[in-house]
């Protein structure tokens, strides 16, 4: 599955991919362990010189062709993504469309990987030196991906890796490997050379760990939970890291906000992927003068969210990834209620589904607000003024995105400037992202930036070429 030759890494056992909504078997696929991963690394290592030498026009062609393939087969891609994952069919279609854009952006950015000329003559004695820098590939990139966006987040690593002249091995999440395998199919159809891009499904503790610790892997590009990210950094040794981790994003609604614009956007950000989304609106901060009006509108809209059969086009929200995740969210909600929070809507689990849930009066510093819930639960908080909103928003050890709704451009600027995070969406919820923009967090939300043009800086390195020119005597 991972490559097309007889030297392909050997599987050891199988992974049963289950439909999260009812536990039915979607597909049983080969599972690779540490040994399988090591042979994939052998193949990638052997392919590196070819990846490096691929001319820019060829990298662009492969990426455009892979994008076209995904686009032509978008119905199948959406079906795979929805079946193995937590997204409704409508959400899955939107992710496929974004994947096409991510791959096309990667193709376009390939021609913009440029260095610069260097003024060597700034140092006395260096007058005869001339030179430039050129960006060279990092080498072999290990990409480890989560379950919640199992296609586009893989494309965000594979597209730029190939654009930059690297080889890449993807270790997809064990619950959702099928979308990554389908993406590999697109690259095979586009004629990517063997070994340059492989997908090795397996578990984090064996296949994932083998990728992390191998010295031939020069960069780990990880998207997933903070705890896993920290473990990987402790294990990896001397490598580059891209760490896209979790958050508990705030969205702030000021007293002059347009609630007709704000509430639907916030609802979208509160229930997308059933809250299993790093940009999920976990904390909703409402100015005290509009608290009750905004709260009532928000609670009423959350209560109307249709959740259930994810293949129905009428559903707004799908299931949690597995029973343990549904139980974890329920336990967190029940703990918050025991500790004094009030339930405004939701709070029920039905199988793997969790009802869109709104809480208020959650005690300060409670895990419900300090940690990442990763489920469709939002807590409400009243604030008196800008300073208090900023203090509440920043009082966590995460910082990915934030949203601010206001009609006052000066206030928007001040608040956006003071929020500790990687991106502030004005008059949008925290859950807005453009695949071409820099994306990443501060504090516990990660290290480095994705976003196609930006991650290319991480996946390439400047190499300096300096010419010490001999001029003949009398040269002018």
Number of Cβ atoms within 10 Å of the Cβ of 136: 16
Given a contact cutoff of 8 angstroms between Cβ atoms, the answer to whether 398 and 444 are in contact is yes
**Using rule CB under 6 A, residue 375 touches ligand NAD:** no
Q: Is 244 a catalytic residue?
A: yes
Given a contact cutoff of 8 angstroms between Cβ atoms, the answer to whether 116 and 133 are in contact is yes
**Using rule CB under 6 A, residue 31 touches ligand NAD:** no
Alpha carbon 422 to its chain's center? 13
Q: Is 351 helix (H, G, I), strand (E, B) or coil?
A: coil
Give the residue with the Cβ less far from ligand NAD, 261 or 331. Answer: 331
* Given 109, 185, 244, 450, the catalytic residue: 244
The region of 133-141, 169-177, 310-318, 362-370 touching ligand NAD under the rule CB under 6 A is: 169-177
Q: How far is CA 325 from CA 93, 352, 376, in A?
A: 24, 8, 11
**Using rule CB under 6 A, residue 209 touches ligand NAD:** yes
The region of 203-211, 254-262, 308-316, 358-366 touching ligand NAD under the rule CB under 6 A is: 203-211
Query: In angstroms, what is the C-alpha Rg of the chain?
Result: 24
Give the residue with the Cβ less far from ligand NAD, 59 or 401. Answer: 401
**Using rule CB under 6 A, residue 225 touches ligand NAD:** yes
Binding mask 395-424 for ligand NAD (x = CB under 6 A): -----x------------------------
Name the helix (H) or strand (E) containing 260. helix 259-271
Give the residue with the Cβ less far from ligand NAD, 54 or 421. Answer: 421
Give the residue with the Cβ less far from ligand NAD, 210 or 393. Answer: 210
Binding mask 245-284 for ligand NAD (x = CB under 6 A): xx-------------------------------x------
Residue in this structure with the two tokens 């296949």, named with its chain if needed = 207
Task: Give the shortest CB-146-to-ligand NAD separation in angstroms.
Answer: 3
Q: Is 200 helix (H, G, I), strand (E, B) or coil?
A: coil
Nearest C-alpha neighbor of 408 from the set 252, 186, 196:
252
Q: What are phi and psi of 38, to 5 degrees?
A: -65, -40
Task: Give the shortest CB-83-to-ligand NAD separation in angstroms.
Answer: 17
Q: How many residues bind ligand NAD (CB under 6 A)?
A: 30
Task: Give the shortest CB-5-to-ligand NAD separation in angstroms.
Answer: 25
Select from 74, 134, 231, 295 the one that contacts ligand NAD (CB under 6 A). 231
Task: Give the shortest CB-413-to-ligand NAD separation in angstroms.
Answer: 25
Tokens of 118: 């260097």
138-167 residues in contact with ligand NAD (CB under 6 A) are 144-149, 153
**Using rule CB under 6 A, residue 223 touches ligand NAD:** yes
Number of Cβ atoms within 10 Å of the Cβ of 27: 16
**Using rule CB under 6 A, residue 430 touches ligand NAD:** no
User: Terminal CA-to-CA distance of the chain, rounded, Å?
Assistant: 63
* Given 84, 278, 386, 450, the catalytic residue: 278
Give the residue with the Cβ less far from ligand NAD, 70 or 199. Answer: 199
Give the residue with the Cβ less far from ligand NAD, 147 or 197. Answer: 147
Give the residue with the Cβ less far from ligand NAD, 146 or 347. Answer: 146
Q: In the 3-class helix/strand/coil scheme, how is 5-54 assigned residue by residue?
A: CCCCCCCCCEEEEECCCCCCEEEEEECCCHHHHHHHHHHHHHHHHHHHHC
Sign of CA dihedral 345, 348, 349, 350: negative
Number of Cβ atoms within 10 Å of the Cβ of 296: 11
The region of 73-81, 82-90, 192-200, 243-251 touching ligand NAD under the rule CB under 6 A is: 243-251
Q: Is 278 a catalytic residue?
A: yes
Q: Is 59 helix (H, G, I), strand (E, B) or coil?
A: helix
Is residue 246 packed enough to be buried (19+ CB in 10 Å), middle (13-18) or exposed (0-12)? Answer: buried
Select from 32, 187, 291, 374 the one that contacts ligand NAD (CB under 6 A). 374
**Using rule CB under 6 A, residue 372 touches ligand NAD:** yes
Nearest residue (beta carbon) to ligand NAD: 204
Nearest C-alpha neighbor of 251 from the set 398, 92, 427, 414:
427
Q: Is 66 helix (H, G, I), strand (E, B) or coil?
A: helix
CA distance linking residue 185 with residue 72, whole number of Å: 13
Residues that bind ligand NAD (CB under 6 A): 144-149, 153, 171, 173-174, 203-205, 208-209, 212, 223-225, 228, 231-232, 244-246, 278, 372, 374, 400, 446
Instruction: Give catalytic residue positions.
Output: 244, 278
């Amino acid at each position: 599955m991972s490559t097309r030759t007889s030297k392909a890494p050997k599987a050891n056992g199988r992974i049963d991919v289950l439909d999260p909504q009812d536990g039915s078997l979607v597909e049983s696929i080969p599972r690779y362990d540490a040994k399988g991963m090591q042979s994939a690394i052998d193949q990638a290592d052997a392919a590196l010189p070819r990846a490096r030498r691929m001319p820019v026009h060829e990298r662009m062609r492969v990426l455009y062709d892979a994008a076209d393939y995904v686009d032509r087969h978008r119905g199948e891609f959406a079906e795979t993504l929805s079946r193995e994952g937590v997204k409704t069919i409508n959400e899955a279609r939107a992710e496929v469309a974004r994947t096409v854009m991510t791959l096309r952006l990667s193709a376009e950015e390939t021609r913009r990987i440029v260095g610069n000329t260097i003024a060597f003559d700034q140092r006395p004695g260096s007058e005869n030196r001339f030179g430039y820098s050129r960006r060279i590939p990092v080498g072999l990139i290990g990409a480890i991906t989560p379950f919640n966006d199992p296609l586009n987040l893989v494309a965000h690593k594979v597209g730029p890796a190939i654009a930059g002249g690297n080889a890449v091995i993807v270790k997809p999440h064990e619950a959702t490997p099928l979308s990554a395998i389908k993406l590999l199919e697109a690259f095979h159809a586009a004629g990517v050379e063997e070994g340059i891009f492989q997908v090795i499904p397996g578990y984090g503790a064996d296949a994932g760990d083998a990728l992390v610790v191998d010295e031939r892997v020069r960069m780990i590009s990880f998207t997933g939970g903070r705890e896993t990210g920290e473990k990987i950094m402790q294990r990896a040794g001397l490598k580059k890291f891209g760490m896209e981790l979790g958050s508990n994003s705030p969205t702030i609604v000021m007293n002059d906000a347009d609630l007709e614009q704000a509430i639907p956007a916030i609802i979208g950000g509160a229930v997308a992927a059933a809250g299993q989304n790093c940009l999920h609106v976990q904390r909703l901060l409402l100015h005290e003068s509009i608290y009750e009006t905004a709260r009532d509108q928000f609670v009423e809209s959350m209560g109307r969210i249709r959740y259930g059969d994810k293949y129905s086009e009428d559903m707004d929200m799908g299931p949690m990834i597995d029973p343990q995740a549904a139980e974890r969210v329920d336990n967190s909600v029940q703990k918050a209620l025991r500790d004094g929070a009030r339930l405004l809507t939701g709070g029920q689990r039905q199988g793997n589904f969790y009802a869109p849930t709104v809480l208020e009066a959650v005690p300060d510093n409670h895990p419900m607000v300090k940690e990442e819930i990763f489920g469709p639960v939002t807590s409400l908080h009243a604030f008196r003024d800008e300073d208090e909103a900023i203090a509440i928003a920043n009082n966590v050890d995460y910082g990915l995105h934030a949203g601010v709704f206001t009609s006052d451009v000066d206030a928007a600027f001040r608040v956006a400037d003071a929020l500790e995070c990687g991106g502030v969406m004005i008059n949008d919820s925290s859950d807005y992202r453009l695949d071409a923009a820099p994306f990443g967090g501060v504090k516990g939300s990660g290290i480095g930036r994705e976003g196609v043009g930006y991650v290319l800086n991480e996946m390439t390195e400047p190499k300096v070429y300096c010419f010490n020119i001999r001029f003949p005597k009398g040269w002018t």
